[in-house]
Structure 1
Amino acid sequence: MKKILLLFWVLFCTISTWATQRSTGEALEIARSFFARYPATRSVDDIRLVAISGDLLKSASTRSVSNEPAFYVYNHGQSAYVIVSGDDRMKPVLGYSDKGAFVTDNLPPNIQSWLESYNAVHTALVNGEQAIKEPRLLTRAVFPETVDPMLGEINWNQDAPYNNACPIVQGNRCVTGCVATAMAMILKYHEYPVKGKGTYSYKISSGLECSFDYGNTTFSWDKMLPQYVSGSYTTEQANAVAELMYACGVAVDMEYSPSSSGAYSFKVGQALIDYFGYDENLGYVCRQYFTSEEWMNMIKTELSEGRPVLYNGASKDVGHEFVFDGYDAQDMIHVNWGWGGSNNGYFEVVSLDPSSPGIGGGTNLGGGFIYQQGMLIGLEPPTASSSYTSHFYLSKLEVNKKEIAKGESFDLTVTKLYNMSTKFQNGQLALIAEKGGKQLALWNVSLGNVNTNYGSEGQTFSNITISNDLVDGTYALYLATKDMRETAWSRVRSGYGFESQFTLTVTGNKCILTPFTGNLTLQEDLDGSVEILHNLYSGRKGDFKMILSNRNMTNDFYGLAGVVFITTDEKPQIISFTGYTQLELKPGTNNKEVIISGNLISNLTETSTDIPVGDYYICPGVRWGEYVYGIGDNLVTVTVNRAYGSPSLVVEDVRLEKNQIQVGEKLKLLAYLSLSGAGNVYDKTLMAAIFTVGQSSTSNIHYAEIFIEKDHPLDFEMEFDPQIDEGSYTVNLYKPELLGGYDGNKPLCRLDFSVGSATSIEDEVTDKEGMIIYQQPVEDVLYIRTSNTAKMISVYNLAGQQMIQQKESADNPTKEYSIPVAGLPSGCYIVVLQSTDGKAYRNKFMKR
């Protein structure tokens, strides 16, 4: 990919105790390595040093006391150049261009100013100033190795009896809603309050009024059961949990519906304070405004201090609220999904993907609750030891002057400044200059009270100055807030790539402000490639494989990544960001494979239309600030074809791989699919519905996307966990009808099967609670933790056949074990662990 001039301000990493000046030879090696990464400059025969900082900058005010070079400039023939930093506390590459050589004579004023800025920072470093880095959230550095699931046996759901107090709409009882169920489980854990506070009422969209008298309600915690099994609870016990569920729903303006009730997650925090009397210092935070390290530390802080976390996320289908209540030694989080115990287990925060979502959880095609993540922190009854932290975010910070003198006024424009947390009380907004961990407020203004999710779309503040007392050095310049309850300023946050703060370089009376977008440099740090997995058709589904890397060894990327479509004309334009998914690339990630799908739509143009037929370039892309950028060096040329007609789907040789499976085993449906009639492509979603024999309706639904081209039949496989007990069943397969939806009277096939109990191997094991499997389904390695030291670990299939046996060393204080299972076929297995004291533990796991 062609690159334009990129002279970017450097974000400095932490200072090394043994920081050193780069020699000419070291700088040359960096230049060689940089040029070698790109095909056009891969030859290293024509690299030469054309300038150092002292040759280009004559001003005494920008020189360090050591007279060492701040940077080196290397040309690659007449085609490209790179600027290499002179100190290992600065990032190696400061800027580069592949549009010609660096010309040292008559530098343009903007280039001269940039180079002076780099030099000023180098001067500050050499003279003993601390390098600037992005301020980070202060959290605990040491945590317990593990926290066991705090909710224990609390496994509540959204249907009866939990929804017995919910309104009836169109003759049907509404479900509680995931927000209410997750809230209620945490309230049950704390068994607080005894009584609520105040009253609240509102109307749902149908006009039905919902109200609750919190102040006159005494919650019957002792009557609430950890689980409700049909026929095993009393009316009093059912009423106790139903009352709590409805109280939670009303508090957050639940939009009730018989199939899926919903509420906004940001409303929960203030509702818990106002109506349930929880600690007023609790807060709500959004994932995209924090680094991965900060986010995990916040989660572990909450859990290690005995506070289950109310967490939310969205899939491609729907949003969901659930509970984090523990973690293991691999930073896998234990999730209680609020579906009566179904799918509970250990998951990575970046891949919260339950295999069979429950009520209101969308479909198995949602891709996990990886989007729009957020959580409540500090959720506990009132305590004197808590403290409040304000959490605001913004999208852009601008100044009308990039170079000013001390005492000279300038304007500051703030775009989209909002409070993401609970109510902000009688607070202030300030412009902070930070160096060495010390904050200096250059300017401040009153914000008063700001409610959750409220703020300003845009505002300009005038007559701001930099004090004459500000000493020479390099500062982080950012906005911060301070509530009346806070003693320190809290930095206003923004997402990756947003210009939301500045680097301020002060040299004498001269102040230079350079936009700063974070510790990650887009073009230097992120790399990738993409390939198509089948022919592409306008407006239809495309499937792609991306290979992505993060070369930065200290900072992660968290954001949206997808495939960028670029026109091939004289003025190329990005017209589509296709199949984008939420992605985390940890520091040093190399060649991470990501499979994505998305319809070929021009979604970056003024109107959303099908991508026109024709040739395009494609490459991986990421959302960086307000815009989408391509990454990587290679553009792939693809053709978008015309899709025509409406072919009919032909289904043949439909069968189940096994007509009898065991409890917990996956069901696999096979078929031979082809097309007939006029048309060249078919991309639809098939639906499998499981019925108990004699049953005429079901909610046990599973989906599979298919893509078939004319003359390219498909050997179709659909595998899923049916989540059913012993018995006889029928699975029906459906295709969507012409007008949408599925006709229950027109199945493509009906296949009978039965489910039996697992083999007797389970009955031979004495304890199944003493072994925890980190995450299911398992892919290449099975990770387990036990309450006792292992002597032998064995894996069995459901027929009782031993597949793996692995001896373990008695010298393992962590009681953490890993068993390679990549060679096992997909399906359900039983792992049995024999401990050194003669006990046996067992558990089931699914192999993907």
Structure 2
Amino acid sequence: MEGVSLQTGTRPFFPFLNYNSMKKQCLFILLALMAFTAGYAKEVTVQQAKQHAIAFMRTRGVNSVGIRSISAAGETGNAYYIINLAPEGWIIVSADDVVVPVLGYSKSGSLDSSLLPENMHYLLNEYEQQILKLARIVTSPHRGWTDVAGVSTRASEKEIPPLIEVNWNQSEPYNKYCPQKKALVGCVAVAMSQAMSVQHWPVQPKGNISYTSPNYGGLSIDFSKELSYDWNRIMAGSNNFDETARLLYHAGMSVRMNYGEDGSGIPSNEVYRISEALINNFSYPESVSYYWRDEYEGDWEQLLLNELNAGRAIIYNAVDTQNNAGHSFNIDGYDGKGHFHVNWGWGGYGNGEFSIDNLRDAAMQMDYDAYHVVVVGIGAPNQTLRSISLSNNKIEEGLPYGSVIGSVKVNGEDVKSTYDVTVHGTYNSANGSYEQVPFKYENGMLKTTEVLNAEIPKWDIEITVKDTESNTELTQIFRIVVEPWKSIEETTTLKYDRQRHTFRLTTKHNVTYVLKGADGSILEQGALDPLPELNLDASALPAGENSLELKCADEIKTIRIISKLQ
């Protein structure tokens, strides 16, 4: 068997995605902290926090709202305010105007500042440190303090109500089938099962699982001998959640859960276990996949919105590498104004609307989303239209009209003859029409209809696919980025997929390539057309130092690829 090594680093081993204990509930609040650099920043008073909370909730359709309680929180005693609303609901407001005002909110329930889950308390402390540092170096208040409604950068203001109708947990009665009826279910199993509850799928699990658990020894299950699922009973929680507990146990076994009474989880750098289990054990389509945020080349927020628009809940994973803690949860809705609905998988506690974008803070060289990864595509295979994908969303300025941006796939496959595909700009509610955009669909490709200029760096488009046989349609949003001229050195990336043992090269347009073996012989050559990309099978490379030479006009770039026999 051949192995391939690259001059690149590998993703480090992360802590487990797990549940610490029912007394130490893990709750990640994902905060958007964006700084600006002019003006004057200052602390937010209790009265200002109250006023902003009420004004903000009114923009979310809660017209009759009052303040039931407010408490300053944080290690310094005043990093953020936890405000419980009347008659119900809560909101977390920053105590300094250098960051986005609203960190999270819910129209129902309440939060007790003295009973915050341990991991939630830790993460808020981390953001408290960020707020304190920003307050020292940033002189401008965040624009959210003057624009109470919030500025959505999304093309669509459509609200998507929460897709998940259940609020499951990890201890009794949900762990009835877990080892010794004492091990906790595990947050991964809850997130998987809640995502599957939206689809009422599968009919029955399949396959065999056998592994050794550090705490319980050998564990195994033959899914083919299991009864079919009764989704009505699962959703209703019939017989003290017996059928629900069975699904949760199956989900845990499918990912080879490391069960324990104080916590059950999987290594957080092995998220592929989730996608593989959904495909192999629960009969979800091959299009189920996972993406690391720091490697994803498209617009992260649009990825999530496209999933929600397709009626699919998302499994979201986040890692606290300093405290060796991680958590899986679900994103299942959108408020239309930049906040996503999060179901934390703790029996409904803390569910609410949170901002998950703009987590990077260049001013402090902090990156809180480097270890975020999502599992998407969790839709029943009987869906006629499950997904629309675009292989690339970036193009260099100045290319002739008719240049290809990327290939369009439907359900991960080439566009069928029964599909009608249209491209248009986003809907403008002010004039009641769609924006004009310089793009078209043609023969499986998204192409330009004019020469683009980087002075207009971004175009939001909608691609609509209609199946003429079933009369169903699906629309998904994409952001096309027009980049100024860049060298071949700047635009070229080569990534290795360790699961599929393949290389994927992406570069600029008008590039030719020559792949040579260690002895200098030409293995492959040609032009990267119509798409500036190349896929290589690692198993086809001879042992030794191979070279891939790229040429564009007078530019030349050579990449060394070392293949070793194992």
TM-score range, shorter chain: 0.3 to 0.5
TM-score by length of 2: 0.44
- Identify the structure with the greater strand proportion: 1
Greater relative contact order (CA < 8 Å, ≥ 6 in sequence): 2
Structure (1 or 2) with the larger CA radius of gyration: 1
- Identify the structure with the greater helix proportion: 2
TM-score by length of 1: 0.30
